[in-house]
Homo-oligomer: A and B are copies of this chain.
C-alpha cells in the first residue's frame, strides 16, 4: 500500500511537467530588489526586526519574523528558474496548503500584467529546492517571487542557466513610491490562500503595481498602542486597518480609539481606511458567531464616527457588505478566506484604496 501511495504522489507531481536537470548558477536573492517591507531590517525576509518589535507582545514579535507579503523582484532571460530556500519550522495547518505557509510563488510580467508563473513546493523539511518554471523563451522578463506567508524565510537562492543574465530589474513593475501599509489578522497574513500570491494584499499589489506591506498577524492583530507607534514611522501612501477578527470586544473598546487616533495625528497627510470584518461563514448556522462579528463592526463604526466628529477628514470606512460575496463559498474553514474570498476582498479593498490614494495626491 505504501509503495502504491508513493507512486501516486510521484505521478501527481509529474503531471505538470518533466523538468530537465540542467545545471544552474545560483545567486543569493538579497542581491536583487525586496518589496513588501514596512521598514528596513537587518534580516532580509522578516517583516520587522527585534529592535522594532521590542515593545510588542510575544506573539506579534514572533509573527513579525514570518515573511508574509515580502517578495523579490528580478529580471532574467534564463530559460528556467530554480530556487533553494530555507524556513524556520515545518508547520501543520489543517486549513492551509504547505505551498502557502512554507512555499514560494512566482509571477512574471507579460503584456504589462503580472501573470502567474510557478510555485516552489515545500517538502516538509527546513530546506527545499524546486524548479519553478522551465522551457521559457530567451527574452528578458521581470519576475516577482513571493516568500512564504506563515513561515520565516531564512535563506533564498535563485538559480538560472549558467549563461543567462539575472539582475535587479530596470523596470521593476512595482512602484515603491506608492505604498499601502496594511495591518490586520491571520486573514490578511494569508490564511487560507492556496499560495502566497493569493493573500489579498498580494493581489492588490499585482493589480495596482504599488508596494503593499502585509502586517497581518495571525490571531494577534489586537491593536496594541506600541504597534500603532511603529506603524506611524512607516513610509505610507495609505494605512489600511483590517484587524477586527482578532481583538475582543473589550480590547476594541479600550484600544481602538487611541490606536487609530495615533496614526491620524502623527500622519495627518496619510489616509486611513478602516475595514470591517466580513461576517464569518462559520456563522451560517451558528447563531452566536455572526452576533459577535456584528458587535465588533458596530464598535468600529462608533470609533470611526467619533473621530470623524473630531475632524479627521483623512479617515475612511469600508463596510463588510459583499466583501467576500454572497454565496457562502468564500472561506476554507468558515473564517479564513479561500482564493474565492481573497479575490473578492481584494477587489473591494483595492477599489477603496485607489480612490483614496488618488484623492490624496498619490505617493508619500
Contact = CB atoms under 8 A, between A and B. Distances in A.
Interface of A: 1, 4-5, 7-9, 11-12, 14-17, 58-59, 62-63, 88-89, 91-99, 103, 108, 110, 115-119, 121-124, 133-137, 141, 185-186, 191-192, 194-195, 198, 218-220, 245-246, 280-282, 284-289, 328-329, 331-335, 338-340, 343
B98 A62 contact: no
22 contacts: A5-B89, A5-B91, A8-B220, A11-B219, A11-B220, A12-B218, A15-B186, A15-B335, A16-B280, A16-B289, A16-B333, A17-B288, A94-B98, A95-B97, A110-B285, A133-B282, A134-B286, A194-B339, A195-B333, A198-B338, A338-B338, A338-B339
Given A94-B98, A334-B116, A136 B8 contact: no
Q: Which 10 A-B pairs have the closest CB atoms?
A: A11-B219, A194-B332, A194-B338, A94-B121, A94-B98, A4-B62, A338-B339, A135-B288, A135-B286, A16-B335
Contacts of A5: 62, 89, 91
A8 B222 CA distance: 13
- Of A12, A116, A119, A343, most buried by chain B (CB within 10 Å of CB) is A12
Given A94-B123, A192-B194, A340-B339, A59 B7 contact: yes
Which of A137, A287, A288, A334 lies at the interface centre, i.e. has the most chain B CB atoms within 10 A of its CB? A334
Contact of A99 (B137, B288, B333, B335): B333
Given A195-B332, A340-B339, A246 B289 contact: no
Contact of A119 (B17, B333, B343): B333
Contact of A333 (B121, B134, B135, B186): B121
B334 A285 contact: no
A330 to B, nearest CB: 9
Contacts of A220: 8, 11
Given A191-B12, A194-B332, A343-B340, A117 B285 contact: yes
Contacts of A133: 282, 285-286
